[in-house]
Amino acid sequence: MTVIIPDFQLAAATQPGTVALKVADLNAQTSFYRDIIGLDVYEQGLTRSILGAHGSQKPLLILQQIMSPLPLTRKTGLYHTAFLLPSRKDLGNALIHYLNVQAPIIGASDHGYSEAIYLTDPEGNGIEVYRDKPRSAWDIRPDGEIPGITIEMDAQGVVAAADQNWQGFPAATKIGHVHLKVADLAATEEFYTDVLGLSLKTNFGNSAKFFASGGYHHHLGTNIWNGRNLPAMDQHDLGLAYYSFFTPDEVELARVRENLEKLGQNFEILKDQSLALTDPNGIKLRFEIVPES
C-alpha cells in the first residue's frame, strides 16, 4: 500500500477526545459505564451524564437521554469506542474486573500493535478497552503503513501483568480511537484525508480503512462490514450523537478552521468556539480545544 500524505495535515497532538452517545435509559447506561466499564461520573443530570477517567476531569464519554428513540436498525454510526489504557498492568486489572463482574465481553485480540478486550453496552454500542504495545513492536512499513493483525490475545499474560489494584480507569486513560460504520469507503477516505488532514495508515481488504494523525496506528477506523450504502442515522436513533477531536490549542483549532474555509466545507462554530461538521456518512464530529484535566 502506498500511503498518500495529504496537503493539509492535522498536528500529531490533535487526537480523538470525547464520544457522545444518545441513550434510552440514562441511569442504566451511566451505571454500566461506571460500575462495569470503569469510568468515573463527573456530572449527572436529568438528561445528560459526563464520564471520564479516575483522577481526571477530562470528559471521555457523554451520555444524552433522548425521548421516543427509534428501533435499532442498520445505519451508519458507531462501531465501537476504544478506551486506551496506559499499560498492560492496567489492561490486566480491567480484564480481572470484567471477569469478576461478568461483564459482556464479546472477544479479545492481539492486533500486533495492541492488545484489546471487546464488549457491548446494554444498548448495543461497541466498546474496546486496549493497551498499546511498545512502538518497537509495531509493523511500521517504509511508506508509513502500519498494518495490524488479529490473533488471540494472550489473556494469561495480560492477567499476570495485573497488580490486582482495580480502581477504574487510571487518569492517563483516553479515547485511543473511534471506529465507525460508514456507507462509502472511498468518500470516507477522501473526506478524512483531503478535508480533515488525517493520514491513511492501512487498508483492511476492501472493507475497512484506518486513519491517524502523526505516526499512530489509527485514531479512526471505518468499515462497511454491515453493508454498503447504509442510511445515515436519524436524530432519534440511539447510538452516536457525535465524536470530537481535541486540538492542543487555539492555533491548531484556527488552522483547522482555515482549511475548512479554504475547501468550502460546511461547518458550524459553536458557543464554546468548537467546530461542528458532518462527514459524508452523516456522522457528526467536532474539533475543540483539549480541556484542562
**Do residues 179 and 126 make contact, with C-beta atoms less than 8 angstroms apart?**
yes
- DSSP structural state of residue 284: E
Beta carbons of 59 and 18 less than 8 angstroms apart: yes
- What pLDDT score does 27 carry? 98
DSSP state of 6: P
Residue 91 sits at φ, ψ, to 5 deg, of: -65, -40
Tell me if 6 sits within 8 A of 16, measured CB to CB.
no
Q: How many CA atoms lie within 13 A of 287 on its CB side?
A: 27
CA distance 93 to 113: 20
Mean pLDDT by 10 residues, the chain (293 residues): 72 97 98 98 97 96 94 91 98 98 98 98 97 97 94 98 97 98 97 96 93 97 93 94 97 97 97 96 97 74
State the cell numbers at 46. 436529568
H or E element in which residue 85 lies:
strand 77-85
Q: Which grid coordinates belong to 236?
A: 432519534
Position 55 scores a pLDDT of 93
> Any alpha helices (H) in the chain, and if so which ranges?
26-31, 88-100, 155-160, 185-190, 250-263
| Per-residue model confidence (pLDDT) at position 1 | 62
Which pLDDT score is estimated for 281? 97
pLDDT for res 2: 57
255 CB-near residues (< 8 Å, 6+ apart): 11
Beta bridge partners of 70: none
Look-up of cell digits 469478576? 100
pLDDT of residue 291: 86
The CATH superfamily assigned to 15-289 is 2,3-Dihydroxybiphenyl 1,2-Dioxygenase, domain 1 (3.10.180.10)
Q: Find cell 498494518 and name the residue.
A: 147
The cell for 119 is 464488549
How far the first Cα of the chain sits from its last, in Å, is 39
| CB burial of residue 262 (10 Å; 0-12, 13-18, 19+) | exposed
- The SS3 of residue 175 is strand
